[in-house]
Amino acid sequence: MTCIQLRAFFVSVAAAILLASSVTHAQTGYNSLFIGHSFFVPFANGMPFYTAQAGIVGHTQTVVFSGGASGAPQALWEDASHAAEIKAVLDGGDVELFAMTYAGEYPTMEGYINWINYALDKNPNTRIAVAMPWIDFPAMFSATEYANVLNESHDIGWRNFITELSALYPTTDIFSIPHGLAAVELRLLFDADNLPDVDSLIGDASNSLFVDIKGHAGDMLKALGRLVWLNAIYDIDLTTFAYDPGYATDLKAIAQTIMDENGTPPVNSTSVPSVPLFGLVIFSALLIVIQTSAIQLRKTNPLR
């Protein structure tokens, strides 16, 4: 074999190794179970498409929906019909990713602990995700008030909650999907008249942030939230993600920044105050206090 042939041989071997490596990486999809309400399920529903765009070929999922507070983990645990549906999926022992959400009517960790215990009993290697939604009735707040509610609640309460939950299960991968912060970023851009894709705060899904007074997501918020999910679950670098959601606003850059700044802290993080088993209570209390203050402010000064 000549030097040229030998070089060609090694090049072809190296190429084959790289190809095999890329194929292996592409087949990293999780068999997933997503349970929650309407501020959660639209993002779960988008994952088959977004993972396909990212080249992830092993992603499968089951989605269980229940509206409003009935989509909270504890509510689903206590509802016989939904609990049976969810348990039937977990009983297969092949759920690799189990994601839940939050509703303020259930401000304790009870529901999360119940479901995590059940899931880990069926598959000890299950990854656990908890998604933080945004605040409903967004028109009740100014953009600054809205941002303060979510940012303060996330930084003080939500981070503690995820850290505490992780500490209860030190051998389990538990992480946050902070897609509620997507609503904050878009709301601030809209308020600054720097969101050319959106014409109104509430209106048609195609050109509004929210589609109703309750605050259900418009198309752009769904797209941004799904990018947050993709990064949180699969660690996809959104700065090099080829798929274009089709907006003038760089949603990929916004989503990457959200995750860079608000990703799940390590269990032993010293940047998060340690308040054992009270993180979710603090998160819920902060939301209530800040929301109540904003409502009172509106009543005393309705022109703000």
**Beta-bridge partners for 129:** 99, 175
75: helix, strand or coil: helix
pLDDT at 279: 58
Give the span between the Cα atoms of 22 and 108, in whole angstroms.
Answer: 42
Alpha carbon dihedral 116, 122, 123, 124, in 10-degree steps, equals 60
Tokens of 249: 């606003």
Residues facing residue 128 across a β-bridge: 98, 174
Position 303 scores a pLDDT of 33
Asked whether the beta carbons of 232 and 182 are under 8 A apart, the reply is: no
Q: How many CB atoms lie within 10 A of CB 55?
A: 17
The CATH superfamily label for domain 28-300 reads SGNH hydrolase (3.40.50.1110)
CA dist 141 and 71 (Å) reads 24
Question: How many Å apart are CA 209 and CA 217, to the nearest integer?
Answer: 6
Which run of H or of E encompasses 38? Answer: none
- The one-digit pLDDT tens for each residue of the chain (304 residues) are 554 444 444 334 343 433 333 333 444 899 999 999 999 999 999 999 999 999 999 999 999 999 999 999 999 999 999 999 999 999 999 999 999 999 999 999 999 999 999 999 999 999 999 999 999 999 999 999 999 999 999 998 999 999 999 999 999 999 999 999 999 999 999 999 999 999 999 999 999 999 999 999 999 999 999 999 999 999 999 999 999 999 999 999 999 999 999 987 544 443 444 444 455 666 666 666 555 555 554 544 433 2
Total residues belonging to the chain: 304
Q: Name the residue among 50, 33, 49 with its Cα closest to residue 87.
A: 33
State the angle between helix axes of 279-300 and 159-168 in degrees (0 to 180), rounded to the nearest 10: 160
pLDDT of residue 288: 60
